[in-house]
Amino acid sequence: MRAAADPEFEPIAERIHANVGQQGFMNLVGAELSELSRGTCTIAVERRPELLQQHGFFHGGVTAFLVDNATTIAAATSRGQPVLTAEYKLNLLSPAAGDKLICRARVIKPGRQVSVVAADVFCVSDGIEKHTATALASIAMLSEEVAAKTKSPAA
């Protein structure tokens, strides 16, 4: 949904963009939040030598990071509350060889305490996307009170 169709989403999106901007690891990896709507998130990262393993593929840790971040952000968009990854199952389907890695996450089942989120990762080569990983995550929905007890070193 777009903010115009969902005016209550605009402040949620602004808060998420601000929080993502404070994540040092997002900046270190060079990942960008490219799409955001209620219940969905897309994060992408361009190929750089620092992100590759010995065979020249994107490192599995980069894929795992994108899944972790995109699934939590997608869950946060559904209710606009703080979240934390409880667990995720990641299946690496094929080597991530290409110019760009894209992770698209979507909420499957929003919940008051736990949301279930799916993610798919694609590697782009010459404009063609290849499905390289898929994941299913359980995201803990935190209260504002619990989240406020832990101060971020990034803030």
Block residue for tokens 């929905």? 141
Residue 114, in any domain of the structure: yes
What is the pLDDT at residue 150? 66
Residue 154, in any domain of the structure: no
| Cα 146 to Cα 154: distance, rounded to the nearest angstrom | 18
Residue 1, in any domain of the structure: no
What is the pLDDT at residue 4? 56
Find the helix or strand (DSSP H, E) in which 18 lies: helix 9-21
- What CATH number corresponds to the domain at position 15? 3.10.129.10
Residue 2, in any domain of the structure: no
What is the pLDDT at residue 49? 96
Block residue for tokens 């979507």? 106
Domain count, the chain: 1
Distance of CA 79 to the CA centre of its chain: 16
What is the pLDDT at residue 21? 86
Residue 155, in any domain of the structure: no
**Do the strands 32-37 and 40-46 form a parallel or antiparallel pair, or are they unpaired?**
antiparallel
pTM across the whole model: 0.89
What is the pLDDT at residue 146? 62
- Range of the structural domain that residue 86 is part of: 9-148
Residue 153, in any domain of the structure: no
Hey, is 133 helix, strand or coil? Answer: strand
Residue 3, in any domain of the structure: no
∠ CA(69), CA(74), CA(77), 5° rounding? 125
Do 102 and 61 form a contact (C-beta atoms < 8 A)? no
Residue 44, in any domain of the structure: yes
> How do the pLDDT tens digits run along the chain, 155 residues long?
344 577 889 999 999 999 898 899 999 999 999 999 999 999 999 999 999 999 999 999 999 999 999 999 999 998 888 999 999 999 999 999 999 999 999 999 999 999 999 999 999 999 999 999 999 999 999 976 665 666 654 44
